Amino acid sequence: MTDLPRRVRIAEEGPREGFQIAPTPVPTVDKIALIDALSATGVSKLQVASFVSPKRVPGWADADQVVAGFTPKAGVSYTALWFNPQGLQRALTFKDRLTIQGSITVAASEAFSLRNLNRDRAGQLAAMRENIAEHQAAGVPVTRASVQAAFGCNFQGEVTPAHAISAVTDVMTLAAETGCEIERISLADTMGWANPLHIERVVGEVRSRWPDQAVSLHLHDTRGLGIANALAGLRMGVAEFDAAVGGAGGCPFAGHPGAPGNIATEELVLLCEEMGIETGIDVDALIAAGHLAEKVLGRTLPSALLRGGSLTAFRAKARAA
């Protein structure tokens, strides 16, 4: 009845998501400490910085120092974000420490595209064409198709499955024209509009149309349905998720007070592991990293599991009794 994967790969985005909206500046040394704590939990993919304009995202003014400072762990793929040639060049300075791959990103909502990307779809596709050329000139593969606001938009309202498919189609067409080999299609519920049936419809259609690409979900827990949406994704065979420790983060341009965060990595790990799906992540180490994240960010993060704790100690105690 379901298509649950045997193993799920989670891209931990807590550092990048969390630090970009921290109300007070987080010391570089604390950012590095959190990254190193996270790499020790068993995560295989860890997004550690945004190479963006310090004017636009002051929380990442120290991206270069952070990337220079963490201790690389074998088996962990460290990634970063950038949005322009300057950012790419900054990232390339660290090609010995970072996995550097490009994305083609569009928004399924025109209204969100104008606000978040400063261009409509056509303008964004033109910008992406340039962006791809810059990556290719630098020898950087462009492997990810990314659709923002794929399930709804605070500015446009409903985003139908047809809207989302049209956005993926535009990206895949551009990829084919420019010779990019797309490995994964990432669908983002940027503003927390998705519900499980909506996830199933869109993921199902994407998988049918592009069977050779992995589907990755980037879910926000704006309205409490994030983990149910992740479950719907798992049922549709999705084996890659972005998540943020503690449920940190949120897009500062989503026009939403409180900038609600991503689904909490530790809750997604618990969901998977309890259902027999391997993540490779030690949930207790991740919960400890979540408590460190709260200390570093100076605020309580939304994750219920950080409050409730895992089942590990209860199980051990029960076995010993």
Cβ(13)–Cβ(249) under 8 Å?
A: yes
Q: Report the chain's C-alpha Rg in angstroms.
A: 19
Helices and strands per DSSP (H, E), number in the chain: 13, 8
Shortest distance in whole angstroms from residue 271 CB to a second copy: 6
Count CA atoms closer than 13 A to 23's CA, side-chain side. Answer: 7
Please provide residue 160's backbone torsions phi and psi, each rounded to the nearest 5 degrees: -80, 165
Q: Which of 153, 180, 251, 272 is catalytic?
A: 251
Q: State which residue, 158 or 177, has the beta carbon closest to a second copy.
A: 158
- Tokens 């009794």 belong to residue: 321
H/E element, 199: helix 196-209
Shortest distance in whole angstroms from residue 142 CB to a second copy: 32
What does the alpha-carbon distance between residue 6 and residue 163 come to, in Å, rounded to a whole number?
A: 31
What does the alpha-carbon distance between residue 262 and residue 303 come to, in Å, rounded to a whole number?
A: 10
Q: State which residue, 42 or 226, has the beta carbon closest to a second copy.
A: 226
Residue ranges in contact with a second copy by CB under 8 A: 1, 152-158, 192-193, 195-198, 221-228, 230-232, 256, 258, 260, 264, 266-267, 270-271, 274-276, 302-305, 307-311, 314-315, 317-319
Q: State which residue, 213 or 310, has the beta carbon closest to a second copy.
A: 310
Shortest distance in whole angstroms from residue 313 CB to a second copy: 9
Amino acid at 318: A
Shortest distance in whole angstroms from residue 63 CB to a second copy: 29
Q: State which residue, 175 or 231, has the beta carbon closest to a second copy.
A: 231
Amino acid at 298: G
Shortest distance in whole angstroms from residue 312 CB to a second copy: 11
Shortest distance in whole angstroms from residue 15 CB to a second copy: 21
Q: State which residue, 209 or 315, has the beta carbon closest to a second copy.
A: 315
98-134 b/e (C-beta count within 10 Å ≥ 16 → b): bebebbbbbbbbbbbbbbbbebebeebbebbeebbee
State yes or no: is 251 an active-site residue: yes
What are the beta bridge partners of residue 103?
Answer: 144
H/E element, 17: helix 14-20
What are the beta bridge partners of residue 80?
Answer: 49
Q: State which residue, 61 or 285, has the beta carbon closest to a second copy.
A: 285
- The residues carrying an active-site annotation are 251
